[in-house]
Structures are given as structure tokens and as C-alpha cells.
Amino acid sequence: MDWKILFEDEAMLVAIKPQGMPTQGDKTGDLDLLSALQEHCGHPLGLVHRLDRPVGGLLVFAKTKKAETAFAKEMQEGRLEKGYRTVLCGKLPEEKGRLVDYLKKNMRTNLSEVVSPNDKGGKKAILHYEVLETATIEGQVLSYVEIQLETGRHHQIRVQTANAGAPIWGDKKYNPMFKRGGRTEIALWSCFLKGYHPTTKKPWCFQDLPKEGAFQFFAGK
């Protein structure tokens, strides 16, 4: 799979993960991005955050332990901003707003679900969204949406949008329109990263907009 490095210096590395490539090693034994980048660098890297295997886009890695600690602090303080673009089947409640739910992960099935705030296993999940455009393709209303996460929960965007009545196009786990086993790619892409350099403390920002799959219906955006 074709992964790409956008930026690299002595402290950090920003790369694009292809859809279908694991962020880190899993039980499949398939090549993962972390291992590929560590071979490129010749030493271990710190995994700052992750993307689900079907999801592609931007990831930042720490090249030193000091940088890894600095990024962990940024994540904890909410200073590492992550933005996504997605194509949803249907419409969200408003053109711009936020979704607040409590999510619980099923360790056996590796799926998450929305639960009551009183459920002891539930964790609060918050995302902000803006609908950029809607279109009707072959009788199906599609929404092109920008999302920013306030929290980072397991399958958060996938679960929350589905619970709001607009599951992600191509999501075989949470969208009943798409059956498992097909070749359709999920329309969810990590398109925006913004943070502070772990050594110089200067701000940095990277963007990579998706163009393939269902995103082609909104190529002008």
C-alpha cells in the first residue's frame, strides 16, 4: 500500500495512512504504517493517535521519547486538533452543531454502542460538525460533512453519526446499507491536523482532502 510522508524532522513525522492499512500491528499480520515508518527511520516511533483500519488520512508520530511525552500532554490538554471529512447517508439534525452521547465498547465484538449516561461502562463522546454540501445520488441523499472531535472514543464518529440517523457511506459495521465482505471503502478521512512542535513549540498545521470513493461526488469542496 502507498503510504506517504508529508513532513519529517528530528522530533516528529506526519504521514498519510492509506485506507485498509492498519495503524499498528494486529492479528492479521498485514503490514502496518507504524512498522513501515519505523523501518524507514531505523528506530522506534511513538504512536500519538490512531485511525481505524478502513479510515485513511493524516497521522502524526513522535520520533523521540521527549516528543512523545510532549504530544501526550497536548492530547490531554486538547491542543492537538484533529479534523475529518466524511460522506453520510442521510442528513444530520442541523446544518451545524454537535453530538453528545455516551459510548460503550464491546470487547468481544470490537463494536461500540450508544448507552445511557447512567451506564457505568459508558464514556462521554462529543463531536462538532458542519454540513458542507448535500446531494442526491441514485435516489440516496448524501451529506458531505466536516467533523472535529472533542473526545477520542472507539469508533466515535462512526457510532455517533449512525445513532443520529446518518451513518457513514461504506461503513460495513454501522451502516446496514453496506454488507461486510464487499470492496467499498468507508467515506471517512483524517484531513486536518494542527498542533505545536514538541521541541520548538511553534504551531504547525497539515491538511489533505480526500478525493476518491464517495468523496468524488463533492470534488469541488
Q: In this structure, are residues 122 and 137 in contact, taking their beta carbons and an 8 Å threshold?
A: no
Output the DSSP codes for 81-98: EEEEEEEEES--SSSEEE
- Distance separating alpha carbons of residues 136 and 147, to the nearest angstrom: 21
Q: In this structure, are residues 125 and 102 in contact, taking their beta carbons and an 8 Å threshold?
A: yes
Q: In this structure, are residues 215 and 189 in contact, taking their beta carbons and an 8 Å threshold?
A: yes
Please report, rounded to a whole number, the percentage of residues in the chain having pLDDT higher than 70: 96
Q: In this structure, are residues 103 and 153 in contact, taking their beta carbons and an 8 Å threshold?
A: yes
Q: What is the pTM of this model?
A: 0.91
Name the percent of the chain in helix, strand, coil, to the closest 5: 15, 40, 45
Chain center to CA of 108: 22
Cα three-residue angle 127-157-112, rounded to 5 degrees: 115
| Res 219: pLDDT | 76
Sketch out the chain's domains with CATH numbers. 4-218 (3.30.2350.10)
| Res 185: pLDDT | 83
Residue 92 pLDDT more than 90?
A: yes
In tens, the pLDDT along 21-30 reads 999 988 888 8
Q: Which residues are catalytic?
A: 52
